[in-house]
Amino acid sequence: MSVGAAGDLGDLGDLARCSLNTATVKRATLREAVDVAARAGLGAVGLWRDRVEEAGTARAAKLVADAGLCVSSLCRGGFLTAAHDDGVAAALDDNRRAIAQAAEVGAPELVFVVGGLPAAGGPEAPVRGDAGPGDRDLVAARARVADRLADLAPFAAEHGVRIALEPLHPLFAADRAVLSTLGQALDLAAPFAPQVVGVVVDTYHVWWDPALEASIARAGAERRLASYQVCDWCLPLAPVALNSRGHLGDGYVDFAAVTRWVARAGYTGAVETEIFNEAVWAADPAVTVATLADRYARLVRPHL
Protein backbone atom coordinates (compact mmCIF):
# COMPACT_ATOMS: atom_id res chain seq x y z
CA MET A 1 0.00 0.00 0.00
CA SER A 2 1.08 3.55 -0.64
CA VAL A 3 -0.14 5.21 2.54
CA GLY A 4 2.38 6.30 5.11
CA ALA A 5 1.69 6.74 8.80
CA ALA A 6 -1.68 5.76 10.27
CA GLY A 7 -4.36 7.86 8.69
CA ASP A 8 -1.95 9.72 6.41
CA LEU A 9 -3.84 9.57 3.15
CA GLY A 10 -1.68 11.89 1.10
CA ASP A 11 -3.85 13.15 -1.73
CA LEU A 12 -6.18 10.39 -2.78
CA GLY A 13 -8.56 12.71 -4.58
CA ASP A 14 -12.31 12.42 -4.51
CA LEU A 15 -13.56 9.84 -2.02
CA ALA A 16 -17.19 10.95 -2.10
CA ARG A 17 -18.39 7.56 -3.31
CA CYS A 18 -16.07 5.60 -1.02
CA SER A 19 -18.00 4.15 1.92
CA LEU A 20 -16.82 2.42 5.07
CA ASN A 21 -19.00 -0.48 6.14
CA THR A 22 -18.81 -0.51 9.92
CA ALA A 23 -18.19 -4.27 9.99
CA THR A 24 -14.75 -3.52 8.52
CA VAL A 25 -13.82 -1.77 11.78
CA LYS A 26 -15.80 -4.19 13.86
CA ARG A 27 -14.28 -3.20 17.20
CA ALA A 28 -14.90 0.53 16.80
CA THR A 29 -17.99 2.17 18.24
CA LEU A 30 -20.28 3.90 15.78
CA ARG A 31 -18.83 7.29 16.77
CA GLU A 32 -15.27 6.04 16.24
CA ALA A 33 -16.17 4.55 12.87
CA VAL A 34 -17.92 7.69 11.72
CA ASP A 35 -15.03 9.88 12.90
CA VAL A 36 -12.39 7.85 11.14
CA ALA A 37 -14.42 7.78 7.91
CA ALA A 38 -15.05 11.52 8.00
CA ARG A 39 -11.41 12.36 8.78
CA ALA A 40 -10.30 10.25 5.83
CA GLY A 41 -12.61 12.19 3.53
CA LEU A 42 -15.01 9.34 2.76
CA GLY A 43 -18.51 10.26 1.67
CA ALA A 44 -20.54 7.55 3.37
CA VAL A 45 -20.78 4.76 5.89
CA GLY A 46 -22.64 1.48 5.69
CA LEU A 47 -24.11 0.66 9.08
CA TRP A 48 -24.74 -2.58 10.91
CA ARG A 49 -27.76 -2.84 13.14
CA ASP A 50 -25.77 -3.78 16.25
CA ARG A 51 -23.89 -0.46 16.14
CA VAL A 52 -27.06 1.48 15.36
CA GLU A 53 -28.91 -0.16 18.25
CA GLU A 54 -26.05 0.52 20.66
CA ALA A 55 -26.13 4.20 19.81
CA GLY A 56 -29.91 4.46 19.44
CA THR A 57 -31.39 4.97 16.03
CA ALA A 58 -31.99 8.74 16.25
CA ARG A 59 -28.56 9.39 17.73
CA ALA A 60 -26.94 7.17 15.11
CA ALA A 61 -28.60 9.17 12.36
CA LYS A 62 -27.43 12.43 13.94
CA LEU A 63 -23.85 11.16 14.42
CA VAL A 64 -23.59 10.32 10.73
CA ALA A 65 -25.25 13.53 9.52
CA ASP A 66 -23.20 15.76 11.82
CA ALA A 67 -20.04 14.22 10.37
CA GLY A 68 -21.22 15.18 6.89
CA LEU A 69 -21.61 11.57 5.82
CA CYS A 70 -24.40 9.70 4.06
CA VAL A 71 -25.66 6.26 5.05
CA SER A 72 -25.07 3.98 2.08
CA SER A 73 -26.88 0.94 3.53
CA LEU A 74 -28.05 -0.78 6.66
CA CYS A 75 -26.94 -4.37 7.29
CA ARG A 76 -28.95 -6.46 7.63
CA GLY A 77 -32.30 -8.11 7.44
CA GLY A 78 -33.27 -11.45 6.02
CA PHE A 79 -32.93 -15.00 7.40
CA LEU A 80 -36.22 -15.93 5.83
CA THR A 81 -35.94 -19.69 5.38
CA ALA A 82 -37.68 -20.90 8.55
CA ALA A 83 -40.12 -23.69 7.74
CA HIS A 84 -42.37 -23.48 10.80
CA ASP A 85 -44.83 -20.83 11.97
CA ASP A 86 -42.83 -19.62 14.98
CA GLY A 87 -39.70 -19.12 12.93
CA VAL A 88 -41.64 -17.37 10.19
CA ALA A 89 -43.30 -15.00 12.66
CA ALA A 90 -39.98 -14.22 14.36
CA ALA A 91 -38.33 -13.49 11.01
CA LEU A 92 -41.15 -11.19 9.91
CA ASP A 93 -41.05 -9.31 13.24
CA ASP A 94 -37.32 -8.84 13.11
CA ASN A 95 -37.39 -7.67 9.52
CA ARG A 96 -40.16 -5.15 10.18
CA ARG A 97 -37.98 -3.74 12.96
CA ALA A 98 -35.02 -3.60 10.59
CA ILE A 99 -37.05 -1.82 7.91
CA ALA A 100 -38.24 0.76 10.46
CA GLN A 101 -34.66 1.25 11.66
CA ALA A 102 -33.44 1.75 8.10
CA ALA A 103 -36.05 4.44 7.56
CA GLU A 104 -35.18 6.16 10.87
CA VAL A 105 -31.45 6.10 10.27
CA GLY A 106 -31.80 7.37 6.70
CA ALA A 107 -30.54 4.21 5.00
CA PRO A 108 -32.05 3.97 1.55
CA GLU A 109 -31.21 0.27 1.31
CA LEU A 110 -31.62 -2.57 3.79
CA VAL A 111 -29.32 -5.44 2.87
CA PHE A 112 -30.96 -8.87 3.10
CA VAL A 113 -29.00 -12.05 3.68
CA VAL A 114 -31.73 -14.58 3.09
CA GLY A 115 -30.63 -17.45 5.36
CA GLY A 116 -29.48 -21.01 4.85
CA LEU A 117 -31.07 -24.42 5.09
CA PRO A 118 -33.04 -24.83 8.33
CA ALA A 119 -30.69 -27.65 9.28
CA ALA A 120 -27.89 -25.13 9.58
CA GLY A 121 -29.71 -23.36 12.38
CA GLY A 122 -29.11 -19.71 11.49
CA PRO A 123 -26.03 -17.59 11.14
CA GLU A 124 -24.56 -17.98 14.60
CA ALA A 125 -25.53 -21.57 15.39
CA PRO A 126 -23.15 -24.45 14.80
CA VAL A 127 -23.97 -26.31 11.62
CA ARG A 128 -24.81 -29.96 11.73
CA GLY A 129 -24.96 -32.71 9.17
CA ASP A 130 -27.65 -34.89 10.70
CA ALA A 131 -30.54 -32.96 9.26
CA GLY A 132 -33.74 -34.69 8.29
CA PRO A 133 -34.53 -35.01 4.60
CA GLY A 134 -36.86 -31.99 4.65
CA ASP A 135 -34.09 -29.80 5.98
CA ARG A 136 -32.09 -30.46 2.83
CA ASP A 137 -34.82 -29.29 0.46
CA LEU A 138 -33.06 -26.33 -1.13
CA VAL A 139 -35.81 -25.75 -3.67
CA ALA A 140 -38.40 -25.43 -0.89
CA ALA A 141 -36.14 -23.15 1.19
CA ARG A 142 -35.76 -20.87 -1.82
CA ALA A 143 -39.52 -20.83 -2.34
CA ARG A 144 -40.01 -19.75 1.28
CA VAL A 145 -37.67 -16.81 0.70
CA ALA A 146 -39.93 -15.69 -2.14
CA ASP A 147 -42.99 -16.02 0.11
CA ARG A 148 -41.42 -13.96 2.91
CA LEU A 149 -40.38 -11.26 0.45
CA ALA A 150 -44.00 -10.99 -0.63
CA ASP A 151 -44.94 -10.62 3.06
CA LEU A 152 -42.38 -7.86 3.67
CA ALA A 153 -42.30 -5.85 0.46
CA PRO A 154 -45.44 -3.78 1.18
CA PHE A 155 -44.07 -2.82 4.62
CA ALA A 156 -40.75 -1.79 3.07
CA ALA A 157 -42.53 0.24 0.41
CA GLU A 158 -44.58 2.07 3.05
CA HIS A 159 -41.37 3.01 4.84
CA GLY A 160 -39.55 4.11 1.71
CA VAL A 161 -36.83 1.50 2.26
CA ARG A 162 -35.55 -0.74 -0.50
CA ILE A 163 -34.84 -4.36 0.32
CA ALA A 164 -31.46 -5.12 -1.26
CA LEU A 165 -31.09 -8.86 -1.85
CA GLU A 166 -27.53 -10.03 -1.42
CA PRO A 167 -26.50 -13.24 -3.14
CA LEU A 168 -23.82 -14.95 -1.06
CA HIS A 169 -21.01 -17.11 -2.35
CA PRO A 170 -22.18 -20.72 -2.84
CA LEU A 171 -19.73 -21.58 -0.07
CA PHE A 172 -22.47 -20.30 2.25
CA ALA A 173 -25.49 -21.93 0.56
CA ALA A 174 -26.01 -24.44 3.38
CA ASP A 175 -25.59 -22.27 6.42
CA ARG A 176 -26.17 -18.65 5.52
CA ALA A 177 -27.86 -17.86 2.21
CA VAL A 178 -29.72 -20.08 -0.21
CA LEU A 179 -29.50 -17.08 -2.55
CA SER A 180 -26.34 -17.85 -4.51
CA THR A 181 -26.19 -15.85 -7.74
CA LEU A 182 -27.08 -12.37 -8.93
CA GLY A 183 -29.35 -13.87 -11.58
CA GLN A 184 -31.28 -15.73 -8.90
CA ALA A 185 -31.56 -12.49 -6.89
CA LEU A 186 -33.00 -10.72 -9.92
CA ASP A 187 -35.49 -13.53 -10.45
CA LEU A 188 -36.56 -13.23 -6.79
CA ALA A 189 -36.87 -9.47 -7.11
CA ALA A 190 -38.85 -9.62 -10.35
CA PRO A 191 -42.38 -9.63 -8.84
CA PHE A 192 -41.69 -6.34 -7.03
CA ALA A 193 -41.16 -2.75 -8.12
CA PRO A 194 -37.46 -1.90 -8.54
CA GLN A 195 -37.68 0.83 -5.89
CA VAL A 196 -38.92 -1.77 -3.39
CA VAL A 197 -36.65 -4.76 -4.03
CA GLY A 198 -33.14 -4.37 -5.44
CA VAL A 199 -29.93 -6.40 -5.45
CA VAL A 200 -26.44 -6.11 -4.01
CA VAL A 201 -23.26 -6.81 -5.93
CA ASP A 202 -20.64 -7.87 -3.38
CA THR A 203 -17.44 -8.81 -5.17
CA TYR A 204 -16.51 -11.48 -2.61
CA HIS A 205 -19.70 -13.36 -3.27
CA VAL A 206 -20.13 -13.04 -7.03
CA TRP A 207 -16.68 -12.57 -8.58
CA TRP A 208 -16.54 -16.19 -9.81
CA ASP A 209 -19.91 -16.16 -11.61
CA PRO A 210 -19.60 -16.81 -15.36
CA ALA A 211 -22.88 -14.93 -15.81
CA LEU A 212 -21.73 -11.93 -13.76
CA GLU A 213 -21.29 -9.41 -16.55
CA ALA A 214 -24.69 -10.27 -18.02
CA SER A 215 -26.41 -10.29 -14.63
CA ILE A 216 -24.97 -6.89 -13.67
CA ALA A 217 -26.17 -5.48 -17.00
CA ARG A 218 -29.60 -6.98 -16.33
CA ALA A 219 -29.65 -5.46 -12.83
CA GLY A 220 -28.95 -2.08 -14.38
CA ALA A 221 -31.57 -2.45 -17.07
CA GLU A 222 -34.11 -3.48 -14.44
CA ARG A 223 -33.06 -0.54 -12.18
CA ARG A 224 -32.34 -2.85 -9.27
CA LEU A 225 -28.62 -2.26 -8.67
CA ALA A 226 -28.92 -1.08 -5.07
CA SER A 227 -25.44 -1.48 -3.61
CA TYR A 228 -21.88 -2.20 -4.71
CA GLN A 229 -19.84 -3.76 -1.91
CA VAL A 230 -16.17 -4.58 -2.39
CA CYS A 231 -13.52 -6.74 -0.80
CA ASP A 232 -11.18 -9.40 -2.10
CA TRP A 233 -11.35 -13.20 -2.27
CA CYS A 234 -8.27 -14.40 -0.38
CA LEU A 235 -6.76 -17.86 -0.03
CA PRO A 236 -6.23 -19.92 1.95
CA LEU A 237 -9.61 -19.56 3.61
CA ALA A 238 -9.58 -18.41 7.24
CA PRO A 239 -10.57 -21.00 9.87
CA VAL A 240 -13.97 -19.27 9.88
CA ALA A 241 -14.57 -19.11 6.13
CA LEU A 242 -16.68 -15.97 6.38
CA ASN A 243 -13.66 -14.07 7.67
CA SER A 244 -11.49 -14.69 4.60
CA ARG A 245 -12.44 -11.36 3.03
CA GLY A 246 -9.46 -9.10 2.39
CA HIS A 247 -8.47 -5.62 1.31
CA LEU A 248 -8.80 -5.00 -2.42
CA GLY A 249 -5.70 -6.23 -4.20
CA ASP A 250 -4.81 -8.88 -1.63
CA GLY A 251 -6.65 -11.66 -3.44
CA TYR A 252 -8.00 -12.78 -6.79
CA VAL A 253 -10.85 -10.45 -7.70
CA ASP A 254 -10.54 -8.46 -10.93
CA PHE A 255 -11.86 -5.14 -9.60
CA ALA A 256 -11.24 -3.31 -12.86
CA ALA A 257 -13.55 -5.65 -14.75
CA VAL A 258 -16.33 -5.88 -12.18
CA THR A 259 -16.28 -2.13 -11.52
CA ARG A 260 -16.53 -1.39 -15.25
CA TRP A 261 -19.55 -3.69 -15.50
CA VAL A 262 -21.19 -1.96 -12.52
CA ALA A 263 -20.50 1.51 -13.95
CA ARG A 264 -21.77 0.49 -17.37
CA ALA A 265 -24.99 -0.68 -15.70
CA GLY A 266 -25.58 2.91 -14.62
CA TYR A 267 -24.69 2.58 -10.95
CA THR A 268 -23.91 5.96 -9.40
CA GLY A 269 -24.06 5.07 -5.70
CA ALA A 270 -21.51 4.40 -3.00
CA VAL A 271 -18.80 1.75 -3.13
CA GLU A 272 -18.83 0.16 0.29
CA THR A 273 -15.79 -1.71 1.55
CA GLU A 274 -16.96 -4.51 3.82
CA ILE A 275 -14.22 -6.77 5.15
CA PHE A 276 -14.54 -9.57 7.68
CA ASN A 277 -10.99 -10.49 8.62
CA GLU A 278 -9.40 -11.01 12.02
CA ALA A 279 -6.18 -9.22 11.02
CA VAL A 280 -8.10 -6.22 9.69
CA TRP A 281 -10.23 -6.15 12.84
CA ALA A 282 -7.07 -6.15 14.96
CA ALA A 283 -5.63 -3.15 13.09
CA ASP A 284 -5.99 0.52 14.04
CA PRO A 285 -9.24 1.67 12.37
CA ALA A 286 -7.43 4.71 10.96
CA VAL A 287 -4.91 2.45 9.23
CA THR A 288 -7.71 0.24 7.93
CA VAL A 289 -9.58 3.21 6.49
CA ALA A 290 -6.39 4.66 4.99
CA THR A 291 -5.73 1.33 3.30
CA LEU A 292 -9.25 0.93 1.97
CA ALA A 293 -9.29 4.52 0.68
CA ASP A 294 -5.98 3.93 -1.09
CA ARG A 295 -7.17 0.69 -2.65
CA TYR A 296 -10.45 2.32 -3.69
CA ALA A 297 -8.57 5.20 -5.33
CA ARG A 298 -6.25 2.86 -7.24
CA LEU A 299 -8.36 -0.19 -8.02
CA VAL A 300 -11.97 0.99 -8.19
CA ARG A 301 -12.35 4.70 -8.91
CA PRO A 302 -10.48 4.69 -12.24
CA HIS A 303 -13.07 2.25 -13.56
CA LEU A 304 -16.23 3.91 -12.24
- The reply to whether 119 sits near a second copy by the rule CB under 8 A is yes
Among 46, 78, 183, 198, binds a second copy (CB under 8 A): 183
| Binding test (CB under 8 A) with a second copy, winner from 65, 88, 92, 131 | 131
Nearer to a second copy, 47 or 219 (CB): 219
Given a contact cutoff of 8 angstroms between Cβ atoms, the answer to whether 98 and 77 are in contact is yes
Smallest separation, CB 174 to a second copy (Å): 4
User: Using the rule CB under 8 A, which residue among 30, 105, 161, 175 binds a second copy?
Assistant: 175
The answer to whether residues 266 and 225 touch, using CB atoms and an 8 Å cutoff, is yes
Please say whether the beta carbons of 82 and 91 come within 8 A: yes
Q: Which of 62, 136, 223, 264 binds a second copy (CB under 8 A)?
A: 136
| Closer by beta carbon to a second copy, 31 or else 142 | 142
**Nearest CA to 59 among 89, 29, 22?**
29
Asked if 246 is part of the footprint of a second copy (rule: CB under 8 A), the reply reads yes
| Distance of alpha carbon 69 from alpha carbon 34, whole angstroms | 8
Q: Does 166 bind a second copy (CB under 8 A)?
A: no
Contact window for a second copy (CB under 8 A) among 22-30, 58-66, 77-85, 113-121: 113-121
221 residue type, one letter: A
- CB-CB contact of 77 with 48 (8 Å): no
Binding of residue 173 to a second copy (CB under 8 A): yes
Is there a contact between 81 and 143 (Cβ–Cβ < 8 Å)?
Answer: no
* β-pair partners for 232: 246
CA distances from 278 to 143, 176, 233 (A): 35, 20, 15
Q: Does 214 bind a second copy (CB under 8 A)?
A: no
Of the candidates 225, 299, 232, which has an alpha carbon nearest to the alpha carbon of residue 262? 225
Whether 235 contacts 171, CB under 8 Å: no
| Among residues 17, 162, 169, 301, the one that binds a second copy under rule CB under 8 A | 169
**Helices and strands: H and E segment counts in the chain:** 11, 10
Candidates 8, 14, 160, 252; binder of a second copy (CB under 8 A) is 252
> Is 96 a residue that touches a second copy (CB under 8 A)?
no
Q: Which stretches of the chain bind a second copy, using CB under 8 A?
A: 117, 119-120, 127, 129, 131, 133, 136-139, 142, 169-171, 173-175, 180-181, 183-184, 187, 207-211, 213, 232-237, 239, 241, 246, 250-254, 256-257
